[in-house]
């Protein structure tokens, strides 16, 4: 058992990634934690984050994490996240702002060293195989090896390309403290992804890294193909240069909008109009995002073909560990 997991009170080396925008809410986080893993409430507006963390803690007495995206995190987010047992941050200069155990997701050795210097209790090494917003540029196991060499004895969890129990064993054998999975848990009964989104993930065999869904956050992300990507991307995931320039120019303005206003803009997206924000289709969100939103998925989606209860997934993933 990893000393970090033991300190937090997590039984199994399986962590559910904090998919934001409403994909990972209380129901999913609590189901993962109750099964012995570490469930995570994804990044949403502060009031909703507070409610989701509270609802998760009503469902389980085991540790639950809250995920924060640093470019959009405000003081109210930190306050809401403090009700969770663990805080996980991503995408931005790390700075300790919580007394809770704190993990920061990184895509390089330099970022890992910065997190250590800032006082993080552990880092999540994100490989380029990961879905959603992608900080990593090399395969996950390669990044893990580099971080292990640069940060001997420091807790490192591994994200990217993990779909099955054998992947978890491979990560642990390589020195990871735990395996972090996103796509596998989006494809769970408790995830708040739209049913049609889950169906497309079951059918998908190919992903692409792009910046298409970057209005307000022009950062690379891995998705499966839909009508919007087919309309605007070449086969390597590149959008027209003028569209990239438009994203960069409008990014500061759109990025400062409240999350509620951004969600209302998302409801107006259409595949034929080149204005795409980072929201994914959720069960309680607008249906237009199935073809005009981001269908986040990691490379592991090619090996995943079913939707199952999260607790069952946790037990299976940890079986050999």
Q: Which two tokens stand for residue 217?
A: 């956050």
Judge whether 172 lies within some domain. yes
pLDDT value, residue 211: 93
Judge whether 55 lies within some domain. yes
Element spanning 172, H or E: helix 165-173
pLDDT value, residue 256: 67
Mean pLDDT of 227-232: 97
Question: Shortest CA distance to 111 belongs to which of 133, 132, 137?
Answer: 137
29 & 158 share domain: yes
How many residues are recorded in the chain? Answer: 321
150 & 247 share domain: no
SS3 call for 49: helix
**Tokens 């409801």 belong to residue:** 267
State pTM to two decimals. Answer: 0.95
pLDDT value, residue 264: 76
Whole-number CA gyration radius for the chain: 18
pLDDT tens digits for 3-26? 999 999 999 999 999 999 999 999
pLDDT bucket at 249, cuts 50 / 70 / 90: confident
SS3 call for 85: coil
Judge whether residue 252 has pLDDT over 70.
no
Judge whether 259 lies within some domain. yes
Structural domain boundaries, residue 268: 205-296
Judge whether 198 lies within some domain. no
CATH number, domain with residue 162 = 3.20.20.70
26 & 131 share domain: yes
167 & 266 share domain: no
Query: Over the chain, what is the mean pLDDT?
Result: 94
Number of independent structural domains in the chain: 2
pLDDT value, residue 266: 83
Mean pLDDT of 163-190: 98
How far is 258 from 77, CA to CA, in rounded Å?
13
pLDDT tens digits for 266-287? 888 999 998 899 999 999 999 9
């Amino acid at each position: 058992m990893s000393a970090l997991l033991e300190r937090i009170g997590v039984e199994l080396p399986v962590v559910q990634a904090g998919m934001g925008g409403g994909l990972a809410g209380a129901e999913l986080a609590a189901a993962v934690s109750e099964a012995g893993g570490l469930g995570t409430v994804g990044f949403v507006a502060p009031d909703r984050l507070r409610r989701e963390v509270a609802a998760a803690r009503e469902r389980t007495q085991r540790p639950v994490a809250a995920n924060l995206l640093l470019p959009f995190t405000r003081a109210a987010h930190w306050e809401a996240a403090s009700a969770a047992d663990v805080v996980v941050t991503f995408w931005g200069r790390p700075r300790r702002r919580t007394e809770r155990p704190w993990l920061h997701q990184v895509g390089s050795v330099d970022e890992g060293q910065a997190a250590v210097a800032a006082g993080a209790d552990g880092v999540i090494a994100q490989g380029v195989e990961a879905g959603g917003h992608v900080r990593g540029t090399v395969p996950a196991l390669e990044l893990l090896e580099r971080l292990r060499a640069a940060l001997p004895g420091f807790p490192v969890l591994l994200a990217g390309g993990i779909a099955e129990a054998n992947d978890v064993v491979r990560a642990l054998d390589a020195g990871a403290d735990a395996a972090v999975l996103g796509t596998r848990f989006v494809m769970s009964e408790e995830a708040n992804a739209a049913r049609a989104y889950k169906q497309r993930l079951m059918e998908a065999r190919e992903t692409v890294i792009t910046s298409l869904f970057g209005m307000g956050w022009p950062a690379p992300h891995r998705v499966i193909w839909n009508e919007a990507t087919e309309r605007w991307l070449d086969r390597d995931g590149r959008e027209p240069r003028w569209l990239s320039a438009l994203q960069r120019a409008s990014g500061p303005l759109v990025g400062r909008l409240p999350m509620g206003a951004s969600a209302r803009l998302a409801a107006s997206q259409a595949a034929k109009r080149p204005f795409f924000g980072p929201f994914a289709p959720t069960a309680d969100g607008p249906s237009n995002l199935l073809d005009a939103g981001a269908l986040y998925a990691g490379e592991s989606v090619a090996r995943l073909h079913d939707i199952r209860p999260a607790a069952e997934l946790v037990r299976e993933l940890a079986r050999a560990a």
